[in-house]
């Protein structure tokens, strides 16, 4: 699957640079855990920028209600200020669902999307809060694909950029955009084109009925050879199961590839 996103050349929000700097400081080294009071920015809240993006949205968006105590804890554990779009989304939302729940942007968790960003990453990209994070899982999709922010684990040349772990290719594929651009793309971009060939006829109904802490599992698998997506059997499984299986198969594939070389 081709996963190159077309960037909007005249991106008018200067917070992109601020967010990237904060991400580099926060995820590239051991973090000194700052108190929640230092992370909440009341003078230049990033949520105001996100709200402008929401107004420009061309895709269907659902903002999930936050739980204040959960939001405080999630923000503290992530250690990103609310001046950045990431911090704002964690602090102001329980998560954001895009295009009938096809894409799930992680926030501080809610009744509908029970996962929050730091807890979801614990045990995957780090073991203890405050540790350096080689990557940070920031969103996933209905077919078990995962979006991650590069904290150095994918190389230093594009630190702070988004990668996509495709269930079709088993590769972490660079998207050449940062977190803010990714969020703006989910609101306004051509999602159909990004997932071309991976959406079946009844996907909207099935995805809406499926929990957003689940993903659709196909058999034969999407990384195998098949002729018609419609003819594959499919059923929802926990998103944790999708992650574990994808990483296991990917590791086996990479090990086999290295042994041949």
What's the rounded Cα separation, in Å, for the pair 132 and 253? 27
**Residue 240 to residue 238: CA distance in whole angstroms:** 5
- Residue of 77, 89, 202 whose CA lies nearest to 138: 89
What is the predicted pLDDT for the residue at 254? 72
What CA–CA distance (Å, rounded) separates 103 from 186? Answer: 8
The Cα–Cα gap between 19 and 252 comes to 35
Whether CATH 3.40.1580.10 fits 15-199: yes
Residue 225: helix, strand or coil by DSSP?
A: coil
Calculated CA dihedral for residues 113, 115, 117, 122, nearest 10 degrees: -170
Phi and psi of 150, rounded to 5°? -75, 115
How far does CA 163 lie from the centroid of its chain?
9
Please tell me the predicted confidence (pLDDT) of residue 23.
Answer: 43
Predicted local confidence at residue 32, as pLDDT? 83
- In sequence order, the 6+-apart residues with CB closer than 8 A to the CB of 211 are 236
Please, are residues 27 and 129 in contact by the beta-carbon 8 Å criterion? no
pLDDT for the residue numbered 19: 45
Residues of the chain with pLDDT below 70 are 1-31, 256-261
Domain layout of the chain by residue ranges: 15-199
Q: DSSP characters for 150-218?
A: ESSTT-STTTTEEEEE-TTT-SEEEEEEEHHHHHHHHHHS-HHHHTTT---TTHHHHHHHS-TTEEEEE
């Amino acid at each position: 699957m081709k996963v190159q996103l077309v960037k909007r050349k005249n991106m008018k929000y200067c917070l992109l640079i601020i967010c990237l700097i904060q991400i580099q400081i926060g995820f590239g080294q051991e973090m000194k855990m700052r108190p929640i009071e230092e992370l909440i920015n009341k003078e230049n809240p990033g949520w105001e920028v996100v709200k402008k993006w929401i107004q420009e949205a061309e895709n269907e968006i659902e903002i999930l209600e936050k739980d204040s105590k959960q939001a405080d804890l999630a923000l503290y554990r992530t250690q990103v200020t609310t001046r950045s779009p990431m911090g704002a989304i964690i602090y102001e939302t329980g998560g954001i669902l895009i295009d009938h729940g096809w894409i799930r942007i992680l926030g501080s968790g809610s009744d509908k999307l029970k996962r929050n960003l730091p807890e979801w990453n614990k045990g995957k990209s780090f073991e203890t809060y405050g540790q350096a994070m080689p990557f940070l899982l920031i969103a996933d999709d209905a077919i078990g694909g995962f979006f991650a922010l590069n904290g150095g684990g994918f190389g230093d040349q594009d630190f702070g950029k988004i990668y996509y772990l495709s269930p079709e290719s088993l590769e972490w594929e660079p998207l050449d955009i940062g977190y803010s651009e990714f969020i703006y793309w989910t609101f306004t971009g051509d999602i159909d084109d990004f997932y071309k060939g991976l959406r079946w006829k009844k996907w909207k109904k099935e995805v809406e009925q499926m929990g957003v802490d689940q993903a659709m599992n196909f058999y034969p698998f999407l990384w195998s050879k098949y002729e018609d997506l419609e003819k594959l059997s499919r059923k929802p499984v926990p998103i944790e199961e999708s992650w574990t299986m994808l990483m296991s198969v990917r590791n086996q594939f990479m090990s086999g590839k290295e042994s041949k070389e």
